[in-house]
Amino acid sequence: MNIHGIKPYLVAGTLALAAQTADAWDDAQFRCPAGQAIQGVDVATHTLICIPVSASSADIAALVARVTALESEAANERNARLAADNALQANLSSEAAARAAADTTLQGNINAEAITRIAEDGTTLASAKAYTDTKVAEGGGGGALAFLQPYVSLDVNPINGVNGPHIIFSGANVHVRSGS
């Protein structure tokens, strides 16, 4: 409930109802006697329904004090909410900054891992190539099959419409056995 600024209206309304002057309209139907306030209107008789009003200074002072206390409580609550909102926003901003920093660190780690793996793949490939080059230069798998070299050839061109590469045995009998 917003009660900010209600004090002047409350005081003015209380004073206006409590202290109707004799200067009000003289017709009895348009005013209540001194010390009374309008409660309603009797439409049938076109007259006001009046009730007595206690308008002592103590009553007004008590109402003003209560309104002031309520305004103070509302201001304190508003200030507390603003402080809590500011603290929450600071926490959210801090968390967002921490997440952004963690994301940056994680991306850096992923990039470093990718670079390391690419380098290791290159090292493995170079090692495999060196091994193969050595075995080819030695005449095959440690020289164990070197005696077959005169009987085996490789042709990468199509033969009889079949694309190569083709392994060709010549000058030797070739037997194929099943695994049983």
174 falls within a domain: yes
Selection from 46, 45, 17, 44 nearest residue 33 by Cα: 17
146 falls within a domain: yes
Domain that holds residue 149: 140-180
154 falls within a domain: yes
44 falls within a domain: no
| pLDDT for 155 beyond 80 | yes
| pLDDT for 55 beyond 80 | no
| Total number of domains constituting the chain | 1
Sequence-ordered strand ranges (E) for 112-159: 152-155
pLDDT of residue 101: 97
pLDDT of residue 153: 84
DSSP class of 147: G
Contact 94, 87 (CB under 8 A): no
68 falls within a domain: no
150 falls within a domain: yes
Could you tell me which residue, 40 or 80, shows the higher pLDDT?
80
Question: Long-range contacts made by residues 128-137, C-beta under 8 angstroms, separation at least 24?
Answer: none
12 falls within a domain: no
Predicted confidence (pLDDT) per residue in 57-97, tens digit? 777 788 888 999 999 999 999 999 999 999 999 999 999 99
Predicted confidence (pLDDT) per residue in 103-112, tens digit? 999 999 999 9
122 falls within a domain: no
Angle at CA of residue 123, ends 156 and 145, nearest 5°: 45
Predicted confidence (pLDDT) per residue in 26-38, tens digit? 455 578 888 788 8
